[in-house]
Amino acid sequence: MLNLQEWIEQKLCELNLVERMEDPHGYNRLGYTEEERKSHQQFIRIAKELGLNTYQDRVGNQWAIWNVHKTAPTIALGSHLDTVYNGGGYDGVAGVLSALAAVKILKDNQFTPKKNIAVVCFISEESARFGVSTIGSKAISGELMIEELEGVRDRDGITVKEAVEQMGVKWEDLTDATLPLSRLEQFVELHIEQGRKLQDCHADLGVVTGIARPTRLLVTASGIANHTGTTSMNNRNDALVAIAPLVQYVSELTKHINKQEDPHLVATVSTVDVKPNSMTSIPSKVEFGIDIRSVDDTAKQSLVTKIKQFCKEAEKKHQVKIEVETLVENKSVFLDDTIKSKLLETGHQLGFKTELMVSGAGHDVMNMATRWPSGLLFIPCRDGISHQPKEYTEISNLVNGTKVLTEYLQIEAKQ
């Protein structure tokens, strides 16, 4: 019989649909695709091996239930199995796998829970395919704005509606899938950190207090396209010259704010679109996409204000029109204090170096937390690298996380 480490290693490959985990090309299980469905089927198979009942809800989330009694409260654990394009094999899978492993240990130990225990694979967590993240968990938490999905297409021109219906989900169901409050008592997700705080402070585990959600800006500078060879330097309305200094400004100012107050603020000019983008034309239009995150919403807002001031000044200085549009403005999500304390205590009791921290990335739990008491446990992620083939966490980290979830379930479900 396999020991826990071996079982986890085996199931990790099965959920990733591979023989071994070294895949230089990365994993491609985009949301609402055949590949994601295949991974869900592996999940169903493993859940059945563990004696769990499985079912797919109306939006495509896959559930596996250790049913004790219909009227008993249900503790849910889980994460997702979809990936970005050429993604890693741990983002999402780690949470589903450790939840299954915890159930396995409890079953192996002949534990008899007083509450139902559910493991869930949320569908289409990544925004890679449609630009909209956490579709499955949004839908059951009542957080899905169906308008933001309408007409959205993937790279191949397939709409969300078509993709959803190809997977056997009715479009109408997506708009009306909110789970009754009573259906769950609480939700706990385990996830790889996708940052390097745990690695840098040599911690085993992180318990997340809050999730920094993004504010996103689109800054558009509009100048005049003219010939690079014939337009004198003093006679230009170069949109790029006007707006390029914003890149450094955002980076430097964010570092400066962190030094003074440390709101864990991060801000990135991450996308650039230049028109006409021709060697012989002065740039007439430049768009910057800026991603800003902090659990401190005031710090985010103050950075946005300063960016707007900077753009106003650049506009005057360079005789170029600059507009700042807010694409996304999400408030931070704070996780349940009681669950947080219990996870922290469990980590310490099991002898793990466990740190309180914030999450810079969004996860399914941020939607669940709007409706049910929820917690988020991080395991380390090598060099903070994620969303690419090099993404990696040691099996021992998955074992450690599993042990905390097991102990947590044992305490929570024993009465």
Determine whether 258 is exposed, middle or buried from the number of CB atoms within 10 Å of its CB (0-12, 13-18, 19+).
Answer: middle
What are 332's two structure tokens? 């931070």
Q: Which residues contact 35 (CB under 8 A, 6 or more apart)?
A: 17, 28, 29
Helix, strand or coil, per DSSP, at residue 364: coil
From the CB of 289, what's the least distance to its own copies, in Å?
5
Residue ranges of E strands in 42-130:
53-56, 62-66, 74-80, 116-122
To the nearest whole angstrom, how small is the minimum distance from the Cβ of residue 217 to its own copies? Answer: 10
Question: In terms of CB distance, is 17 or 274 closer to its own copies?
Answer: 274
How many C-beta atoms surround the C-beta of residue 102 within 10 A?
Answer: 25
Nearer to its own copies (CB atom), residue 166 or residue 248: 248
Instruction: Tell me the C-alpha distance between 411 and 287, whole Å.
Output: 52
**Could you tell me which residues come within 8 angstroms of residue 323 by beta carbon, excluding any fewer than 6 positions away?**
219, 220, 222, 311
Decide if residue 396 touches its own copies (CB under 8 A). Answer: no
Q: Which helix (H) or strand (E) holds 402?
A: helix 395-412
Q: Which of the 8 DSSP states describes residue 181?
A: G
- Binding pattern for the stretch 63-92 against its own copies, x by CB under 8 A and - elsewhere: ------------------------------
Among 247, 324, 350, 395, binds its own copies (CB under 8 A): 247
Question: What DSSP element (H or E) covers 323?
Answer: strand 321-329
Q: How far apart are CA 81 and CA 23, in angstroms?
A: 16
Of the two residues 96 and 244, which places its CB atom closer to its own copies in the complex? 244
SS3 167: coil
Asked whether the beta carbons of 104 and 96 are under 8 A apart, the reply is no
State which residue, 20 or 25, has the beta carbon closest to its own copies.
25
Contact status: 212 vs its own copies (CB under 8 A): yes
- 386 contributes a contact to its own copies by CB under 8 A: yes
CA-CA-CA-CA dihedral for 220, 223, 226, 229, to nearest 10: -90
Binding to its own copies in span 118-157, by CB under 8 A: 127
Q: How far is the CB of 403 from its own copies (least distance, A)?
A: 24
Tell me how far, at minimum, the Cβ of 109 lies from its own copies, in Å: 35
Centre a 10 Å sphere on the Cβ of residue 208 and count the other Cβ atoms it contains: 27
CB of 351 to its own copies, least distance (A): 26
- Of the residues 248, 319, 326, 349, which one makes contact with its own copies according to CB under 8 A: 248
Q: Report the 10 Å Cβ neighbour count for 182.
A: 9
Contact pattern for its own copies over residues 187 through 206, marking x by CB under 8 A: ------xxxxx---------
Residue placing its CB nearer to its own copies in the complex, 113 or 214: 214
CB of 264 to its own copies, least distance (A): 8
Q: Give residue 17's identity as a one-letter amino acid code.
A: L
Q: Which residue in this structure is represented by tokens 């219909």?
A: 70
Count of Cβ atoms closer than 10 Å to residue 365 Cβ: 30
Nearer to its own copies, 51 or 245 (CB): 245
Exposure b/e, 103-126, CB count within 10 A at least 16 = b: bbbbeeeebebebbbbbbbbbbbb
Token match 């009573």: residue? 182
Q: Which stretch binds its own copies (CB under 8 A): 31-39, 59-67, 229-237, 396-404?
A: 229-237
Is the CB of 69 or the CB of 255 nearer to its own copies?
255
Sole binder of its own copies in the list 4, 65, 158, 385 (CB under 8 A): 385
Exactly one of 362, 375, 380, 401 binds its own copies (CB under 8 A); that residue is 362
From 59-67, 155-163, 379-387, 399-407, give the range in contact with its own copies by CB under 8 A.
379-387
Smallest separation (angstroms) from its own copies to the CB of 35: 20
CB within 8 Å of 132: residues ≥ 6 apart: 148, 149, 152, 160
Number of residues that bind its own copies (CB under 8 A): 62
Site string for its own copies, 286-325 (x = CB under 8 A): x--x-x-x--------------------------------
- Residue 255 is a binding residue for its own copies (CB under 8 A): yes
Residues that bind its own copies (CB under 8 A): 127, 193-197, 212, 214, 216, 225-235, 238, 240-241, 244-245, 247-248, 251, 254-255, 258, 264-274, 277-283, 286, 289, 291, 293, 359-362, 384-388
